[in-house]
Structure 1
Amino acid sequence: MRNLECSERKIEFDYKGGKGIFIRQGRGKATLKIKYRGAYGMGEKYDAVNQKGKKVINEVNEKFCFQGDKTYCPVPFFWTDSGVGVYVDTCYTSTFDFREEEIIIETPLDCKMVLFTGKPKEIVSSYMKIFGEATLPPEWAFGVWISANRWDNEELALTQIERLKAYDFPATVMVLEAWSDEATFYKWNPGKWNHPKEMIDRIHDAGLKLVLWQIPVYKKMGQEEADNEQNRLDEEEALKHHLCLYEENGEPYRIPEGNWFAGSLLPDFTNPRTYQSWFAKRQDLMDMGVDGFKTDGGEHIHSEHVKFHDGSNGREGKNKFARDYTSAYKKFVGKDKVVFSRAGFSGQHTISIQWAGDQQSRPEEMKSVLKAGLSAAVSGILFWGFDIAGFAGPLPSMDLYRRATQFACFCPIMQWHSEPDGGQFKDLMAGSSGENERSPWNIAKAYNCPEFIDEMRYWHKLREELRPYIYATAKKCVKENTPMMRPLFYQFPEDENGLNCEDEYMFGEDYLVAPFI
C-alpha cells in the first residue's frame, strides 16, 4: 500500500504489470499507465461490473428506477485484473476514465490516493482496513424480511403474522414504512396505530424483529396536508439552534423543487447538538423494542454552497451526507440492531446493510440489480440485498418473481417489498391497480395460481435451512474482509473464463450461484 499526494510531480512505483502514475496540474489529474482487461469496484454499479471502457462520475444520486450509470452508493475505489487498486481519499466528486491502456483519475488537488497491489482478495481487504472492521448484522438479519408500503395500520401489520402462520412461511424481520404521522417521522400515526408497544410485543412473540422507515428531513408539509404542530416546532428548533444545514449566504438550505421532499430542511449530523435532539425524539421507539431503522434517502445535497457544522461544503457534502446520516443511526442503535440503508459512500461496510433501492418489476431491472450486488461486493460492501422482483410498477410475472426469489435466497439479505397501492409516483408511473403487495400469496392470488404458494414456500424454507451457514459465513467475512457474494474473477483470478462473468458468483465458499434472470 502506498499513499500519494496530488501534485505536479511524477511519482513512480513498481507494481505488477504497470509503469507509474502521473499527477498533472489543474483540478488534479492522475494517469495510470497500465495494461488491464477488467476494472472492478466503484461501489454499487448497475450498468456493468467490469467498468473498463466507461467514464465513471463518482457521486451519490437519487434515481427512481433504471439507475443506469447513476448510483445511490458510490465508492472511489477500484482494482484491476493486473493486480493494482486505487482508493481516492476524498468526499468530493471524482471522475474515473477507464481507457484501453490507461486510467485517468480527476480529483481535487488536496486529496490523497492510496495504491494497492496484490490479488483481488488482498486489495479489497486492504481497502476495507482503512476504515475498520465491517459491522456484523445480528443472526436474525439473515432470515427472510417481509415488507409492503401498504401496511399502513396496526391491523394490517398484525395480519401478516397470521398469514405467515397460515401459509407456513418462515420470516425473521418485518419492515414497516407507512407507520409514522408522515410529518415528524418519529411519532406513530395515532389514527392507525393505537397500541404500538403491544403490537411490537406481538411481533416479537411471533419470532419477528421490527424495522421502521426513516428519512433525514425536517419535512415541509404539502398544501394538501394538514398542519402538524410538532412538525412546526421541530423546524423552529432546527432554525433557532442551527441544527439544520445552511447555505453560504446564511439562508437555511432547503431541498430544491423537483426533488424528493422539496422544500424540506436537512439535519446537520456533523453538529453534536443535532444528533442529541434528533435521536432524543426517537428514543421512545427504541424503548418500545424497535430493532432497527430503514434509513431511506440521503441523496439530498443539490447545491455546492451548503455549509456543514464541521466546515465541509456542498461539493464534498453531496457524498458525505449519506455517510454522516447512516453513521449517526448506527451510533444510535448500538449493537444487535440494524441500519438498512440505500445511500452510502466509502467505508460504508463499517456502518450499515445496503439495499439496491428502487426498481420496477421488470427482467432488465433484475439484471441490473445483479450487477449492482456484485460490484458492491468487490467494493467492500459485505451485506446487501434487493426487493424481490422489484417494488414498483405493475406486479411482476410469476416467472420473474420465481427467478428473483431464487436469486435472493442466495444473497446476504432476502427481502420482498412493494410501493404503495397505485404507485409511489402515480404521475410518473402507475403501479398495479388494487393490491400492489409483492408477498408470495398475493402474487399467487393475482394470477389465480394457488400452487405458486407451495413453490415459493420451498425457497423460503431453504433460506431458513441455510441461515446457520449464512451467519457463519458472515462472521468469517467480517474477520477476513471478504464479501459474501464473490464474483468468479474475484474468487478465481487465475481463471480467465471468469474475467467478464457478470452473472455468476460464489455465495461464501460452498455455493456457486448463477441466477437465471
Structure 2
Amino acid sequence: MKSIYLDAQASSIVVVEKQGSVCLQFKGTHLWGAGEHFDRVEFLSHPRRNEVEEVFTQQGVHTYLPQPLFLSDEYAFLVQSDRVFTVESQGSDDGIQLTLQGAFSPEDSLVIASGTPKKTLGELLSYLGGVVLPPSWVFGEWASANRWKSEEDVRAVMDAAALHGFPITVLVVEAWSDESTFYTFSEEQGLWPDPRKLIEEMDTQGVHLVLWQIPVYKALEEGRRDIRHEQDLAYVREHGLAVLNKDGTPYTIPEGNWFAGSMVPDFTNPETRKWWFSKRKYLMDMGVSGFKTDGGECILTDDVLFHDGSTGKEMRNRYPQSYIEAYQEFIGPERITFSRAGYLGAQGSMLFWAGDQLSQWSELQAVLNAGLSAAISGIFWWGFDIGGFAGPMPSGELYLRSYELGSLVPVMQWHSEPVGGQFSEVMKSEDRINDRSPWHMAERYGEEVLAITKRYSTMRKSLIWYLVREATVSREMLQPMMRPMFYAFGSAYADIYDQYLLGSSLLVAPILEKGQRARAVTLPDGSWYDLFTGMTMSGPCTVERGYSLGQIGIFINTEDAEFERLKDSFAGLC
C-alpha cells in the first residue's frame, strides 16, 4: 500500500506492511472517526469493520456508512481503498498501534496528515475534493412517513401541519410509486390525479417534495404481474444493464435480505444510467426537489462483475456511493439526495440519515453517537428519525426528548413505518397507525406534546438563517456542523460525548435517559449564555442544570457577532 504524507511531520509515523495487514505506530491516546457508528464515538481498543451493512434497528457495531478515515490527537489517516477490512487498535505508554487487516489492492493508498483533529480532518477532506453545500431549504423541518400513498394523503398532512402551525419545508413520500418500477406514480384510480399540479401548489407554500427510490429491478411478489415491469426486466437482461455473476447471468440479492431475488442496476455502466434516468426525467420536469436514495447495501458477494471491471470485492462498499453519485449527476446541485448508506466520497454527496431505529431510549443515545462519529468522518449534513421509525410507538417523554434533540441537528425529520408495512411482521405495534407526527402523538399523550413540539418547530424555522450561515462556513472551512467537544476544544474534553456544538456558537446538551430531569453541562473557555436561566457564565466550568420536559441544554456563545439575533431565534422556547 502506497503511503502519501501531507506534511513532513506525518512522515514520522512508523508503517509496517505485511501480507494482508498494515500496522501503524504513532503518538496519541485517542481514536475517532471510521464513519457513522452507533455504539460509541471514540473507538481505541474497540474493533471496527470497514464494511457497508444493512442492519434493521439496534445497529450496534455495524454501520450503513463506514468511512476509512481515522483521527487521533496528533495524526489522521485516510485509507483509499474500497475493500472490506478490519481495524484493530490498542494503546500503551508508547502511543497507539493501529492495525488494518484485509485483502488490499495494489492500487490502494494510505494518506497521513499531522496536527489536531480540526486541522487534519480539514486537510483530508480537502484532499478528497471538499464538501458539497446543500440548498438552504434543507435546513427547515422535514415530514415523512412510509404510509402516504396518495395525493389525498399528502394534502392531509400539509393541511394538518398548517392547522397546527408546523412550518414544514420538505415532505418525503415513500409509497408514491407503482411498487414495481419505482419510477411511475401509482396508477390505481384516484390516488394521484394530478401530481404536477400538487407539486406546483406545494411550491407556492414553500414545501419541497422528495420521492423515495431503491436501486433494484424488483422481483415481484408471488402471483403478482406487471407487464411494463416485465418488459423492463427483459430489456435490462438483453442490454446488460444489471450487475452480473461470473457466468454472465444477472446477480440477484440473496434470500433473507431486503428485496431478495431482485436484480441490481450497474451504475458503472453509462447505458444503465441513461436508461434508468430516462424513466425518471419527467419527475424533474414536474418539479420534484430530490430523492430519498434508500438502500444500496445489496452487493453481498465478492463474485460479481461490473461494467467498469470492478468486482464485489470493491463494490460491496463502493456500490451505494456509485448509486448516490449517479443520482447527483442526474439531478444537479439544486436538488438533493437523502441517503442511508454510502462510502468514501460521501463528503461530496448531499444528505444522510441514520437509518432505522426503534422507539427506545437506547436508540436515542445511539443516534447521537452516530451523528457525532459521522460528523468527524466528514459527513456534515445528517439527521435521524425523530421518535424512532419502527415497532411500538414511543412514550410521550421519549418523543419529546427526541424532538428536542432532532430540532438541533443539521437535518430535522420525523418519520415512521406503517402498521402492515414491510417490517410489520418482525416489529409489531399495538397501534392501527404508526403515525409519529406531532399532532398524532398529541392525540395519544395530550396537548402538552403539541405545544412543546410546535415551539421547537417554530424555533427551527427561526434558526434557519444561523444553520445556513454555519453550513456555508462548514463547507468553506471543512469543519462539521455537529462538533464533538474534543474536536472544538481539544483532547481535554475527550470524555464528553453527550453534548456538542452545532456550528460555532451553539452548545447543545440533550436529555437522553428516561426520567432524567437534570444533568451536568461542561462549558469550555469563553462566555456562554444559558437560554433557560438567562445567566451568562465564563468557562471553563461545569454546571448542574434542571431540564423539565420541553427543555434542552442550549448555551449561546456571547462572542458571536450576531449574538442578539441568535438569542432572539430561541425566544419562543423560554
> Are the equivalent residues in 2 in contact too, given 1:133–1:350 (CA < 8 A)?
yes
SS in 2 for 1:287: helix
Question: Structure 1 CA distance, aligned partners of 2:193 and 2:87?
Answer: 52
SS in 2 for 1:512: strand
SS in 2 for 1:469: helix
Question: Structure 1 CA distance, aligned partners of 2:380 and 2:143?
Answer: 21
Question: Structure 1 CA distance, aligned partners of 2:429 and 2:284?
Answer: 34
> Are the equivalent residues in 2 in contact too, given 1:422–1:436 (CA < 8 A)?
no
- Does residue 96 in structure 1 map to residue 87 in structure 2? yes
When the two chains are superposed, the root-mean-square deviation of aligned CA atoms in Å is 1.7
- Does residue 222 in structure 1 map to residue 221 in structure 2? yes
For residues 37-77 of structure 1, give each alpha carbon's deviation from its aligned partner in whole angstroms, at most 9, with x where no partner exists.
21100000111100111111101000000001110000011
For 2:119, the equivalent position in structure 1 comes to: 122
For residues 484-517 of structure 1, give each alpha carbon's deviation from its aligned partner in whole angstroms, at most 9, with x where no partner exists.
0000010011x51x11211111100110011111
> Are the equivalent residues in 2 in contact too, given 1:45–1:372 (CA < 8 A)?
yes
Question: Structure 1 CA distance, aligned partners of 2:261 and 2:145?
Answer: 27
For residues 375-420 of structure 1, give each alpha carbon's deviation from its aligned partner in whole angstroms, at most 9, with x where no partner exists.
0000011100000011111111111111111111110000000011
Question: Structure 2 CA distance, aligned partners of 1:229 and 1:424?
Answer: 24
Code of the aligned partner of 1:60: V
Question: Structure 1 CA distance, aligned partners of 2:495 and 2:247?
Answer: 49
Pick one of 48, 52, 55 that aligns with 1:63.
Answer: 55
Pairwise mapping of residues 8-47 of structure 1 onto structure 2 (< 5 A)? 15=9, 20-24=14-18, 26-27=19-20, 29-47=21-39
> Are the equivalent residues in 2 in contact too, given 1:422–1:431 (CA < 8 A)?
no
For 2:550, the equivalent position in structure 1 comes to: none
**Normalising by the residue count of structure 1, what TM-score does the alignment of the two structures yield?**
0.95
For 1:510, the equivalent position in structure 2 comes to: 505
- Residue 336 of structure 1: CA displacement? 1.3
Structure showing greater relative contact order (alpha-carbon pairs closer than 8 Å, 6 or more residues apart): 1
**Normalising by the residue count of structure 2, what TM-score does the alignment of the two structures yield?**
0.85
- Residue 345 of structure 1: CA displacement? 0.4
- More off after superposition, 264-273 vs 154-163: 154-163
> Are the equivalent residues in 1 in contact too, given 2:81–2:105 (CA < 8 A)?
no
Question: Structure 1 CA distance, aligned partners of 2:437 and 2:288?
Answer: 23
Question: Structure 2 CA distance, aligned partners of 1:149 and 1:365?
Answer: 20
For 1:411, the equivalent position in structure 2 comes to: 409
- Aligned pairs, number: 503
For residues 93-123 of structure 1, give each alpha carbon's deviation from its aligned partner in whole angstroms, at most 9, with x where no partner exists.
1211011231111241512111111111111
- Residue 131 of structure 1: CA displacement? 2.2
Code of the aligned partner of 1:95: T
> Are the equivalent residues in 2 in contact too, given 1:422–1:432 (CA < 8 A)?
no
Pairwise mapping of residues 286-365 of structure 1 onto structure 2 (< 5 A)? 286-365=284-363
Code of the aligned partner of 1:468: W
SS in 1 for 2:168: coil
For 2:521, the equivalent position in structure 1 comes to: none
For 1:8, the equivalent position in structure 2 comes to: none
Cα separation, partners in 2 of 1:19 and 1:321, compared to 1, 3 Å: closer
Pick one of 157, 160, 164 that aligns with 1:160.
Answer: 157
Question: Structure 2 CA distance, aligned partners of 1:196 and 1:207?
Answer: 16
Question: Structure 1 CA distance, aligned partners of 2:266 and 2:467?
Answer: 37
Cα separation, partners in 2 of 1:238 and 1:302, compared to 1, 3 Å: same
For 1:452, the equivalent position in structure 2 comes to: 449
Larger strand proportion, structure 1 or 2?
2
For 1:193, the equivalent position in structure 2 comes to: 192
SS in 2 for 1:274: helix
- Residue 425 of structure 1: CA displacement? 1.5
Code of the aligned partner of 1:507: L
Q: Structure 1 unaligned runs (5+)?
A: 6-10
> Are the equivalent residues in 2 in contact too, given 1:76–1:94 (CA < 8 A)?
no
Q: Structure 2 unaligned runs (5+)?
A: 513-574
